[in-house]
C-alpha cells in the first residue's frame, strides 16, 4: 500500500516552470558521461601501479564500448571473402565498414567498425517538458551500447504516460551508495520516474543517457508482458551494427585477444589438447578450426549447463574434434593408483573414449535447431540443461597442449558502468584461485608440450596476459616459468 502510494506520488506530473530549467541543462544532464566509482583502496592501488593520470584514462575508457566488433569466420563453413560479402549485404542500410585483420595468418578475423560517441538531441517535447524516459538495467544498457535494442526484461522503469509510438530517451540505472555502506540500484521493475528535478532518481541518471528510440509498448504494457521489444532504438551514443542472428553458423563474435590465445597455443593437426575453463567454447572452437578439426580437444568446465552449451556450439559450427566434460579445474589431475589403466589418459569412468560424434552430435544439432534461440530466451552461450559427460580428471602429462583460461576478475572488461564492488581482497581471492588452477594445469602437459595461460588480472600481468610456457623436460617448478610476449 505504502509502495503504491509512493509510486503514485512519483507519477503526478504537472506543468512546472522548473521544466524550462531542465531543458536548459540538457547538454549536461542528457549526455553519456559516466564516471566509474571504485573502492577507495583499489583506486589507490591502481593509481600507484599505473600512475593517477593513466589510471584515470583507463577508467574512462572502460565506460565505452569497443569501437569495432570482431568476428571470427567459421572457415569450415565459409571463407573470409564470402562472409564479408554476406555481411555487407545484411548490413547494407547501416553502411557497415568491414575489413580483414592484417596480422599474418589471421585474415579469417573481420572487423566491423563502429562510431561514437555522438551528441544526441533529446528535446522532443514542444511544451518544454523533459523527454519521456525508459530506464534500463546496466546489463541491458551494455547490450544497447553494442548495438542491441531494448527488450522488455531489461526495462526497470518508465515515465508516466508513455504511449506506444512515443519517442523516449533511454537512461541507465546504476548502483548508488546505500545507507549501510554497500551499493544499491534502488529502482525496481515497475518504477515510475518523472524526469523532473523533484524525481528522487533525477540526479542518479544525469550523464547516463544512451540514446533514444520509439516505444513499441505503452508504459503500462511494458510491465504486463515478460518478453518482446520495448524500445526500437533510432539513435545510440555509440553505433555498432547489431550482429544478432546474422550468419549464425558462419561467423562467431569474439574479441581479438581471445582469438590470439588460440594462436599462442599454435595447435597442430592430430594433437590432444586440454581446454580448462572452456565454456562457452569460444577459444575451444577457435583452436579446433586452427587444427582443421583433426585431433582431440577436451573442453572442460565446471558448469553443467555451460558444458551443454559447448556441445551445442560445436554442433552449430560443425566441429567434431571437441569432447566436452564437466570437470572442476581444481581437481583436473586424477589421483593415480597402481591398478589404474591409463591407456586412454583419462580417469573418467564414463569416458566415451572419443569425440562428440554420431548420435551425440546429431542430438546436439537437433536441440540447437529446435531451440530456435528466441529473443530474450537462452542465447548461444546459455543452455537449458541435458546430459553431459563428467570427468574425474586426467592422468599427469597426458596432453600435448593445455590452455587454461581461468576465470578472471573481469576488471578490465568494457563497457563498465559500475566498479564499486571489487576490492583488494576480492582481487587476492581471484589470484589465489587462478594459482591453484595453474598448479593443476601444468601437471597435465607432456614433456615437450605447451601450456597457455590466458587471464586478465592486474595483480599478475597488467590488464591482460597471455603466457605461453614450454616444457622441454616436463613440468618441474612453476616459479621458473616466464611469460611469453
Ligand atoms: C573466462 S570464462 C572462459 C571462457 C572460455 N574459455 C571461452 O573462450 O569461451 C571462465 C569459465 O571458467 C569456468 N570455471 C570457473 N571456475 C571453474 C572451475 N573451478 N573449474 C572449471 N571451470 C571453472 C566458468 O564456468 C566459466 O565458464
Contact 87, 247 (CB under 8 A): yes
Sheet holding 97-100, edge to edge: 97-100, 109-113, 68-73, 251-253
The interface predicted TM-score of the complex, written ipTM, equals 0.99
Query: Which residue from 414, 380, 408 is spatially nearest to 146, judged by alpha carbons?
Result: 414
Binding residues for S-adenosyl-L-methionine: 277-283, 301, 328, 405
Give, using CA atoms, the residue closest to atom 27 of ligand 1.
279
Please indicate whether residue 473 or residue 255 has the higher confidence score (pLDDT).
255
pLDDT band at 479 (very low <50, low <70, confident <90, very high): very low
Give, using CA atoms, the residue closest to atom 17 of ligand 1.
302
Contact 207, 122 (CB under 8 A): no
pLDDT band at 468 (very low <50, low <70, confident <90, very high): low
Please indicate whether residue 436 or residue 469 has the higher confidence score (pLDDT).
436
pLDDT band at 368 (very low <50, low <70, confident <90, very high): very low
Instruction: Specify the residue for cell string 553505433.
Output: 239
Alpha-carbon gap, residue 325 to 191, rounded angstroms = 43
Alpha-carbon gap, residue 415 to 379, rounded angstroms = 20
Give, using CA atoms, the residue closest to atom 25 of ligand 1.
303
In this prediction, residues 413-440 reach a mean pLDDT of 86
At residue 435, the pLDDT reads: 85
**Atom of ligand 1 at shortest distance to CA of 408?**
1
Distance 196 CA to ligand 1 centre (A): 45
pLDDT band at 371 (very low <50, low <70, confident <90, very high): very low
Distance 278 CA to ligand 1 centre (A): 5
| 3-state percent breakdown (helix, strand, coil) of the chain, nearest 5 | 30, 20, 45
At residue 341, the pLDDT reads: 54
Query: What's the Cα-to-Cα distance from 329 to each of 275, 300, 402, 435, rounded to whole Å?
Result: 10, 8, 12, 11
pLDDT tens readout for residues 93-107: 777 899 999 999 999
**Atom of ligand 1 at shortest distance to CA of 303?**
25
Query: Which residue from 400, 398, 372, 401 is spatially nearest to 384, judged by alpha carbons?
Result: 372
Query: Which residue from 436, 433, 484 is spatially nearest to 461, judged by alpha carbons?
Result: 484
In this prediction, residues 174-182 reach a mean pLDDT of 85
Pairing of strands 109-113, 150-151: unpaired
At residue 427, the pLDDT reads: 82
At residue 247, the pLDDT reads: 85
Residue 463 above 70 pLDDT? no
Instruction: Specify the residue for cell string 530549467.
Output: 21
Contact 51, 236 (CB under 8 A): no
- pTM for this entry: 0.80
Give the start-end residues of each E strand in 89-146.
Answer: 97-100, 109-113, 133-136
Give the start-end residues of each E strand in 148-227.
Answer: 150-151, 155-158, 167-172, 176-177, 183-184, 209-215
At residue 472, the pLDDT reads: 55
Distance 258 CA to ligand 1 centre (A): 13
In this prediction, residues 16-21 reach a mean pLDDT of 50
In this prediction, residues 220-225 reach a mean pLDDT of 93
Distance 332 CA to ligand 1 centre (A): 13
pLDDT band at 248 (very low <50, low <70, confident <90, very high): confident
Alpha-carbon gap, residue 230 to 137, rounded angstroms = 13
Distance 326 CA to ligand 1 centre (A): 11
Q: Which of 256, 314, 402, 407 to mutate to test the pocket of ligand 1 (most atoms within 8 A of CB)?
A: 407
Contact 391, 348 (CB under 8 A): yes
pLDDT band at 230 (very low <50, low <70, confident <90, very high): very high
Residue 384 above 80 pLDDT? no
Alpha-carbon gap, residue 370 to 129, rounded angstroms = 48
**Atom of ligand 1 at shortest distance to CA of 433?**
19
Query: What's the Cα-to-Cα distance from 166 to each of 125, 169, 218, 263, 462, rounded to whole Å?
Result: 10, 10, 8, 49, 46
Give, using CA atoms, the residue closest to atom 15 of ligand 1.
407
Domains and CATH numbers, the chain: 2-30+118-236 (2.30.130.10), 255-480 (3.40.50.150)
Please indicate whether residue 370 or residue 35 has the higher confidence score (pLDDT).
35
Percent of the chain whose pLDDT exceeds 90: 49
Distance 423 CA to ligand 1 centre (A): 21
Residue 295 above 60 pLDDT? yes
Lookup: cell for 401: 597442449
pLDDT band at 231 (very low <50, low <70, confident <90, very high): very high
Residues flanking ligand 1, CB < 6 Å: 258, 277-283, 301-303, 306, 328-330, 405, 407
Give, using CA atoms, the residue closest to atom 2 of ligand 1.
407
**Atom of ligand 1 at shortest distance to CA of 281?**
9
Contact 317, 292 (CB under 8 A): no
Chain centre distance of CA 450: 27
Distance 449 CA to ligand 1 centre (A): 22
Lookup: cell for 268: 597442430
Residue 267 above 60 pLDDT? yes
At residue 49, the pLDDT reads: 83
At residue 335, the pLDDT reads: 73
At residue 373, the pLDDT reads: 41
Please indicate whether residue 172 or residue 181 has the higher confidence score (pLDDT).
172
The DSSP code sequence of 306-326 is: HHHHHHHHHHHHT--SEEEEE
pLDDT band at 1 (very low <50, low <70, confident <90, very high): very low
Alpha-carbon gap, residue 283 to 75, rounded angstroms = 15
Amino acid at each position: 500500500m505504502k509502495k503504491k502510494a509512493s509510486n503514485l506520488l512519483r507519477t503526478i506530473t504537472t506543468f512546472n516552470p522548473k521544466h524550462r530549467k531542465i531543458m536548459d541543462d540538457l547538454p549536461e544532464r542528457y549526455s553519456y558521461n559516466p564516471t566509474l566509482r571504485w573502492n577507495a583502496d583499489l583506486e589507490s592501488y591502481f593509481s600507484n601501479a599505473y600512475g593517477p593520470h593513466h589510471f584515470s584514462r583507463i577508467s574512462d575508457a572502460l565506460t565505452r564500448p569497443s569501437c569495432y566488433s570482431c568476428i571470427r569466420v567459421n572457415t569450415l563453413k565459409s571463407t573470409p571473402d564470402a562472409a564479408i560479402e554476406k555481411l555487407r549485404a545484411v548490413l547494407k542500410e547501416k553502411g557497415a565498414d568491414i575489413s580483414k585483420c592484417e596480422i599474418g595468418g589471421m585474415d579469417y578475423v573481420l572487423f566491423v567498425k563502429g562510431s561514437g560517441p555522438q551528441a544526441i538531441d533529446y528535446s522532443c517535447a514542444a511544451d518544454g517538458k523533459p523527454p519521456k524516459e525508459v530506464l534500463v538495467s546496466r546489463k541491458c544498457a551494455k547490450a544497447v551500447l553494442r548495438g542491441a535494442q531494448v527488450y522488455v526484461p531489461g526495462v526497470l522503469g518508465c515515465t508516466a504516460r508513455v504511449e506506444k509510438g512515443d519517442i523516449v530517451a533511454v537512461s541507465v540505472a546504476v548502483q548508488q551508495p546505500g545507507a549501510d555502506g554497500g551499493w544499491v540500484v534502488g529502482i525496481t521493475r515497475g518504477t515510475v520516474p518523472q524526469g523532473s528535478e523533484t524525481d528522487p532518481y533525477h540526479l542518479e541518471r544525469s550523464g547516463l543517457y544512451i540514446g533514444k528510440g520509439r516505444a513499441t509498448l505503452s508504459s503500462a504494457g511494458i510491465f504486463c508482458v515478460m518478453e518482446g521489444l520495448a524500445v526500437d532504438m533510432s539513435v545510440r551514443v555509440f553505433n555498432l551494427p547489431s550482429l544478432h542472428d546474422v550468419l549464425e553458423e558462419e561467423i562467431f563474435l569474439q574479441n581479438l585477444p581471445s582469438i590470439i590465445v588460440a594462436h599462442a597455443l599454435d595447435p597442430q593437426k592430430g594433437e590432444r589438447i586440454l581446454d580448462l575453463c572452456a565454456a562457452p567454447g569460444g577459444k575451444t572452437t577457435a583452436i579446433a578450426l586452427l587444427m582443421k578439426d583433426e585431433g582431440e580437444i577436451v573442453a572442460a568446465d565446471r558448469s553443467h549447463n555451460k558444458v551443454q552449451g559447448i556441445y551445442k556450439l560445436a554442433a552449430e559450427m560443425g566441429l567434431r574434434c571437441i569432447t566436452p566434460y564437466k570437470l572442476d579445474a581444481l581437481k583436473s589431475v586424477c589421483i593415480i593408483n597402481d591398478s589404474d589403466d591409463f591407456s586412454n589418459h583419462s580417469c573418467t569412468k564414463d569416458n566415451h573414449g572419443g569425440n562428440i560424434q554420431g548420435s551425440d552430435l546429431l542430438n546436439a544439432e537437433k536441440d540447437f535447431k529446435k531451440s530456435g534461440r528466441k529473443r530474450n530466451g537462452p542465447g548461444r552461450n546459455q543452455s537449458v540443461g541435458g546430459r553431459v559427460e563428467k570427468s574425474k580428471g586426467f592422468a599427469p602429462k597426458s596432453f600435448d597442449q593445455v590452455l587454461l583460461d581461468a576465470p578472471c576478475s573481469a576488471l578490465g572488461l568494457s563497457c563498465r558502468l559500475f566498479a564499486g564492488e571489487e576490492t583488494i581482497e576480492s582481487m587476492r581471492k581471484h589470484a589465489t584461485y587462478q594459482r591453484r588452477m595453474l598448479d593443476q594445469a601444468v601437471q597435465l602437459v607432456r614433456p615437450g608440450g605447451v601450456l597457455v595461460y590466458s587471464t586478465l588480472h592486474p595483480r599478475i600481468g597488467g590488464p591482460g596476459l597471455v603466457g605461453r610456457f614450454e616444457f622441454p623436460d616436463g613440468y618441474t617448478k612453476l616459479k621458473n616459468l616466464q611469460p611469453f610476449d
